[in-house]
């Protein structure tokens, strides 16, 4: 890395509730779960990202794991700042990366309050950002999907992340109408934990529930290529003795139904607010799905059936927002929708 590229370091950051992704020189250089492990006595960070995730749910009184973001926004300011700082260091551990002109584009949920936006800006600045821009997540998702966001055409994006589902109609470089609900991947995981407790009397942690979601998660009780049942082990709530239960995707479809209905209602609410000309564009092009939630089996089909507009899963949906934030970084002078 030459001295000049060092002086003009540029980073695009998708600071997500579940995953943080950093793009530098058009490449994904960090892709880690948004979690840190802290030593209680000293407050020192002992692990970040994957290493901290390994410890999640397995800690003792001297160590705690913290997910600094909840529901799409920073819930623990100090932990968030340390996490961003630590992840930036991962890019190039040999230099301290305190470039005097670190330019950053960071994305924020479209429903963020002033205070929440301030928290992201402050954390980014404390982590070394001198020139910080912000972009709304659905706008970043649209850019990452490859949509020409400045065209006089309507496009609708639904980004189902860990903390929030962001729904937005974009045209002429702006968000025309949007909805941000705090029901997304984390909520689905919590639904699964509650279901296992009530239905099977088995106590499971967040990581196990997440594994169930990935292995047999489904949005419909009848899908093509159904996955085999997934065996879940854990303590019986009554006896504390170990039990093992096979879980089918149909059960999970049933358990996620309520949350998915809320996502559908939110999408319909945005369609209701959409001006007719843009609505027509959306019906002919379809609605784009991004975020990790887009990978839920049968989701695109369920939404297409329910709403009667085709839903299209973005290519590599987990990285769409990060890719778009990277595109924004290269166009900071051109895109007037970036916020300083
Ligand atoms: N195959 C899959 N099936 C269902 N859910 C999945 C799958 N893969 C990942 N997820 C879920 O996607 C979520 C993470 O998605 P993503 O990385 O887009 O969220 P995020 O950007 O960190 O969160 P947010 O945008 O809300 O702040 C997690 O809840 C994860 O469990
Ligand atoms: Mg996201």
Q: Which of 293, 314, 323 to mutate to test the pocket of ligand 1 (most atoms within 8 A of CB)?
A: 293
Question: Phi first, then psi: what are they for 68, rounded to 5°?
Answer: -65, -20
Is the four-CA dihedral 277, 278, 282, 284 of positive or negative sign? positive
pLDDT digits (tens, 9 = 90+) for 248-273: 999 999 999 999 999 999 999 999 99
Write the CATH number for 285.
3.30.420.40
Reported confidence tier of residue 101, pLDDT bands at 50, 70, 90: low
Q: Please tell me the total count of domains within the chain.
A: 2
Closest CA to 86 of 116, 142, 127: 127
pLDDT digits (tens, 9 = 90+) for 295-317: 999 999 999 999 999 999 999 99
Residue 247 lies in a domain: yes
Write the CATH number for 217.
3.90.640.10
pLDDT at 2 over 60: no
Domain range spanning residue 244? 185-255
Q: Which two tokens stand for residue 76?
A: 């623990």
pLDDT at 7 over 60: no
pLDDT, the chain, mean: 93
214-242: average pLDDT: 96
With H, G, I as helix, E, B as strand and everything else as coil, classify residue 236: strand
5-22: average pLDDT: 86
d(C-alpha 324, C-alpha 314), whole Å: 12
This prediction has a pTM of: 0.94
d(C-alpha 324, C-alpha 326), whole Å: 5
State in Å: Cα 161 to ligand 1 middle: 5
pLDDT at 98 over 70: no
With H, G, I as helix, E, B as strand and everything else as coil, classify residue 182: coil
Pick the last residue of a domain from 206, 229, 255.
Answer: 255
Residue 25 lies in a domain: no
Q: What is the DSSP letter of 314?
A: P
Other C-beta atoms lying within 10 Å of the C-beta of residue 234? 18
H or E element that contains 19: strand 19-24
Bridge partner list, 244: 233
pLDDT at 292 over 90: yes
Residue 81 lies in a domain: no
Ligand nearest to the CA of 212: 1
215-244: average pLDDT: 96
Reported confidence tier of residue 79, pLDDT bands at 50, 70, 90: very high
Other C-beta atoms lying within 10 Å of the C-beta of residue 197? 14
Pick the last residue of a domain from 240, 255, 270.
Answer: 255
* Contact residues of ligand 1, CB 6 A cut-off: 16-19, 72, 161-164, 184-186, 210, 213-214, 217, 291-293, 295-296, 318
Is the four-CA dihedral 100, 101, 107, 113 of positive or negative sign? positive
pLDDT at 18 over 60: yes
State in Å: Cα 185 to ligand 1 middle: 5
Reported confidence tier of residue 96, pLDDT bands at 50, 70, 90: low
Q: How far is CA 124 from CA 15, 30, 74, 85, in A?
A: 10, 16, 12, 8
pLDDT number for residue 145: 98
State in Å: Cα 279 to ligand 2 middle: 25
State in Å: Cα 235 to ligand 2 middle: 33
pLDDT digits (tens, 9 = 90+) for 131-162: 999 999 999 999 999 999 999 999 999 999 99
């Amino acid at each position: 890395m030459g001295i000049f590229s060092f002086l003009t370091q540029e980073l695009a950051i998708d600071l997500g509730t579940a995953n943080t992704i950093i793009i530098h020189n058009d490449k994904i250089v960090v892709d880690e779960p948004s979690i840190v492990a802290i030593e209680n006595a000293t407050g020192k960070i002992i692990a970040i990202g994957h290493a901290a995730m390994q410890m999640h749910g397995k800690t003792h009184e001297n160590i705690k794991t913290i997910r600094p973001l909840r529901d799409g926004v920073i819930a623990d300011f100090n932990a968030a700042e340390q996490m961003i700082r630590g992840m930036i260091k991962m890019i190039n551990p040999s230099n301290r990366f305190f470039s005097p002109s670190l330019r950053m584009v960071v994305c924020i949920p479209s429903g963020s309050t002033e205070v929440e936006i301030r928290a992201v800006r402050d954390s980014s600045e404390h982590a070394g950002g001198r020139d910080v821009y912000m972009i709304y997540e659905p706008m970043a998702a649209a850019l990452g999907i490859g949509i020409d966001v400045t065209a006089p055409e309507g496009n609708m994006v639904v980004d189902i992340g860990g903390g929030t589902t962001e729904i937005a109609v974009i045209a002429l470089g702006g968000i025309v109408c949007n909805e941000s609900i705090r029901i997304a991947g984390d909520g689905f995981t919590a639904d699964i934990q509650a279901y296992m407790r009530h239905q099977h009397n088995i106590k499971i942690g967040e990581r196990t529930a997440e594994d169930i979601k990935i292995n047999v998660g489904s949005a419909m009780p009848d899908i093509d290529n159904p996955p085999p049942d997934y065996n879940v082990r854990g303590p019986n709530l009554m006896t504390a003795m170990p039990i093992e239960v096979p879980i089918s995707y149909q059960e999970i479809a049933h358990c996620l139904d309520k949350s998915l209905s809320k996502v559908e209602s939110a999408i319909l609410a945005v369609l209701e607010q959409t001006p007719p000309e843009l609505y027509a564009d959306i019906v002919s092009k379809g609605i784009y799905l991004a975020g990790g939630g887009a990978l839920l089996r049968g989701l695109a089909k369920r939404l297409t059936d329910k709403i009667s507009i085709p839903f299209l899963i973005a290519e590599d949906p987990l990285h769409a927002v990060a890719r778009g934030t990277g595109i924004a970084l290269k166009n900071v002078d051109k895109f007037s929708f970036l916020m300083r």
